[in-house]
Amino acid sequence: MNTTSKNYTYRADCACPLRYTAGIGIDEKIRFCEELFITNKLPAVFKVTPVLQEGLVDILLSQNYQNIKTVKVMRCKLENVEIDDCAEIRCMDAPDNGWLAASAELSGIVLPELIEVHCQNLKNIAVKSVFVEASIDGKVVGCGYGTVERGYVGVYDLHVEDAYRCRGVGTAICRAIFRYGIRQNAKYAYLIVHSKNQNAISLYSHMGFTTFYEYSFYCKPHPLYKVVDA
């Protein structure tokens, strides 16, 4: 399965092997994907979950692919949670323009075309969702959103302004998402975090999250095309 999103984020511009069997036309399949990426003005990127695609990493490395990003999928069991009072929390079923603007700014996105893609992707979410923002003294200092499917609530795009970190804002946003998940009968929460983001991993571990599994993105560098990650 291939996904593309106008060069914005590896997770949205990658090939996701649904089944891998060593030696069965694998080189031809890789070349087919590479041609598809080039047609869309993208470098070739494969998402690899080692437990599902054992052996694929060695093949990609032998064809000049590089591991450009590894992420952890962490999860925890939902318990009754309380909302912290460190910030004013606002929750909504769909993102309004203010939330979208805050999300783009806190994500560090500056190019207008990428802001458009970022916002449109959020508007296109089709499952039950909650969009949360945290304000202090009338200023939006953090935001994130959650989605609920099959008994799980996922925490996504959690960002807090630098000057307001380590003040419980991120925890408050997470707990607001947890509360939403509980109301939707979710039993577990999960999130995805960069394996090198030790501050975030420490925060999530303190909240009860443990690593469930990891997956990586492998990219073949291209002289003209690149992916802008978030």
* 88 and 172 part of one domain: yes
Residues 154-162, mean pLDDT to the nearest whole number? 95
The confidence score (pLDDT) of residue 177 equals 96
| Domain count for the chain | 2
**pLDDT-based confidence at 85, cuts 50/70/90?**
low
CATH number at 99 reads 3.40.630.30
Give the number of C-alpha atoms closer than 13 A to the C-alpha of residue 98, restricted to the C-beta side: 12
State yes or no: pLDDT of 61 exceeds 90.
yes
Domain holding 46, by residue range, is 2-70+215-220
Q: Is the predicted pLDDT of residue 4 greater than 60, yes or no? A: no
pLDDT tens per residue, range 205-225: 988 999 999 999 999 999 888
Whether residue 31 is contained in a domain is answered as yes
Are 53 and 95 part of one and the same domain? no
Q: 176 with 89, same domain?
A: yes
Confirm if 230 and 107 have CB atoms less than 8 A apart: yes
This prediction's pTM: 0.84
Residue of 87 and 192 predicted with greater confidence: 192
Question: Do 66 and 84 sit in the same domain of this protein?
Answer: no
Please give the pLDDT value at position 26: 86
Cβ-based neighbour number of residue 138 at 10 Å? 6
Per-residue pLDDT at 9: 77
Pairing of strands 66-77, 2-3: unpaired
Query: Does residue 153 lie within any of the structural domains?
Result: yes
The overall average pLDDT reported for the chain is 89
Predicted confidence (pLDDT) at residue 63 exceeds the cutoff of 60: yes
Question: Residues 64, 121: one domain?
Answer: no
Establish if 19 belongs to a structural domain. Answer: yes
Q: Say which residues have a Cβ less than 8 Å from residue 112's Cβ, sequence separation at least 6.
A: none
Question: What band does 8 get if pLDDT is binned at 50, 70 and 90?
Answer: low
Q: Is the pLDDT of residue 179 over 80?
A: yes
Binning pLDDT at 50, 70 and 90, where does residue 50 land?
A: confident
Which stretch of 78-92, 124-138, 151-165, 195-209 has the lowest confidence by average pLDDT? Answer: 78-92
Q: What is the pLDDT of residues 88-137, one digit of tens each?
A: 999 999 999 999 999 999 999 988 988 998 999 999 999 999 999 999 99
> Based on the domain organization, do 37 and 87 belong to the same domain?
no
Q: Are 91 and 173 in a shared domain?
A: yes
Between residues 103 and 51, the one the model is more confident about: 103
201 within some domain: no
Do 70 and 197 form a contact (C-beta atoms < 8 A)?
Answer: no
The answer to the question of residue 103 being in a domain is yes
Is 203 part of a structural domain of the chain?
no
86 in the same domain as 47? no
Residues near 147 by Cβ (< 8 Å), separated by ≥ 6?
125, 127, 128, 129, 153, 154, 156
pLDDT band at residue 182, thresholds of 50, 70 and 90?
very high
DSSP the chain: -EE--TTB-TTTSEE--S---TTSSHHHHHHHHHHHHHHTT--EEEEE-TTTSTTHHHHHHHTT-EEEEEEEEEEEE-------SSSEEEEESS--HHHHHHHHHHHT---HHHHHHHHHHHHT--SEEEEEEEEETTEEEEEEEEEEETTEEEEEEEEE-GGGTTSSHHHHHHHHHHHHHHHTT--EEEEEEETT-HHHHHHHHHTT-EEEEEEEEEEE--SS---B--
